[in-house]
Every structure is written in C-alpha cells, then in structure tokens.
C-alpha cells in the first residue's frame, strides 16, 4: 500500500545543534516529494520540493533535504537549529498526473531547547 512514514513523533534538539527529520515512502514509482512546516494555529508552509534532478534540494529557512531512491527516503536537515524552528514538520508525497493523491506523513514535532 502507498504510504508516507515519519518515524519520529517528537524530537528535541538544542539550539545550534544539527537536525535531521526522517521521512520514508512506499510507492510504486518515484513520487514528487515535499516538506512543509506548521507553526501552532497556522497553515502549512512549503519548505522545499523534489521533482527530479539533483537529489540534494535546498529550501527556505536554511533547510535542505536529500532524496535517496535506494532507501525510499527524503530526510530533512538543518546544520544549526534556531529557536524559531520549533514547529510541526510534515513530509508529503504526490504521484505524477494524479490530482488527489498527495499523502502527508503524521508529522514530527520539533522542540528546541535553549
């Protein structure tokens, strides 16, 4: 079955430390891949997207993600976390040529310690 998995429900990191949020997908073909961030009470903001080409994708707010086909993963990284990065992060996948099949992971809540 097609699915998106974010294995970590909650992650806590210290300010200034590096961050990696995991995302794995299970699809028959390589989907389009996205990461979104959601602050409390707000909508989702797109951080970055991968369609094809270079497997290391740069996004906004200093985030990057790497697509690894062999591992069916699209992990989000940031070298140095800021307190303002505390939020909920969602990985999402979409199948090409499919208008409705955009699936979201359950989300990872990031807490940043001072």
Partner 1 sequence: SQTIHQWPATLVQPVGSPLSLECTVEGTSNPNLYWYRQAAGRGLQLLFYSVGIGQISSEVPQNLSASRPQDRQFILSSKKLLLSDSGFYLCAWRTGSNQPQHFGDGTRLSIL
| 83, two tokens | 């307190």
For residue 32, give the nearest of 109, 99, 77, 107 by alpha carbon.
99
The residue range among 14-22, 40-48, 61-69, 71-79 that interacts with partner 1, by the rule CB under 8 A, is 40-48
Q: How far apart are CA 10 and CA 68, in angstroms?
A: 23
Stretch that binds partner 1, among 11-19, 55-63, 67-75, 104-112 (CB under 8 A): 104-112
Beta strand pairing call for 64-68 and 56-58: antiparallel
**Of 84, 95, 104, the residue nearest 44 (C-alpha):** 104
- Taking CB under 8 A as the rule, does residue 105 contact partner 1? yes
Site string for partner 1, 77-96 (x = CB under 8 A): -------------x-x-xxx
Residue ranges in contact with partner 1 by CB under 8 A: 32, 34, 36, 41-46, 49, 51, 90, 92, 94-100, 102, 104-107, 109
């Amino acid at each position: 079955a097609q699915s998106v998995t974010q294995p970590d429900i909650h992650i806590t990191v210290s300010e200034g430390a590096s961050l990696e949020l995991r995302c794995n997908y299970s699809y028959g073909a390589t989907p389009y891949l996205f990461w979104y961030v959601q602050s409390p009470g707000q909508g989702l903001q797109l951080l970055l997207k991968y369609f094809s080409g270079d497997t290391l994708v740069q996004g906004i707010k200093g985030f990057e993600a790497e697509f690894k086909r062999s591992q069916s993963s699209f992990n989000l990284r940031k070298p140095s976390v800021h307190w303002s990065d505390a939020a909920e992060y969602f990985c999402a996948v979409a199948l090409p040529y499919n208008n409705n099949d955009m699936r979201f992971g359950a989300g990872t809540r990031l807490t940043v310690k001072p």
